[in-house]
Amino acid sequence: MKYRYFAKKSFLFISMLAAFKTFAFELPSVPFPAPGSDEILFVVRDTTFNTNAPVNVKVSDFWTNRNVKRKPYKDVYGQSVFTTSGTKWLTSYMTVNVLFMIKQKTITLLLMMLS
């Protein structure tokens, strides 16, 4: 009896998750980062029903170390770029809180420069 109750609850929870709008942060796929470049690009995409359409978001807040030279723009329409000062692997990082325009959701993205 206990297992049936748990199975019903689990199925309900999984069904609810499948119905929610989902978003994905996309980083460049080749090569990461580009040779001779200190830039990193992030794109927020709507992954509901496999549309992969870019989503307009606002950067509500960010925190970074001093190696990051160019901060992301407040309004991110499809993509945003930040640059570092040519530091070594995983020594430049940025935590970005983005606010989705659609449902005012806030998500935290941790970006790390792989140089």
The Cα 15–Cα 9 span in angstroms is 10
Helix (H) or strand (E) segment spanning residue 44: strand 39-46
| Domains recognised in the chain with CATH numbers | 21-113 (2.60.40)
Q: Considering only CA atoms, give the Rg of the chain.
A: 18
pLDDT of 112 reads 46
- From first to last of the 115 residues of the chain, give the pLDDT tens digit: 566 665 665 655 555 545 455 555 555 444 445 555 555 555 555 555 556 566 666 666 565 665 555 555 555 555 555 555 555 444 455 555 555 555 544 554 544 444 3
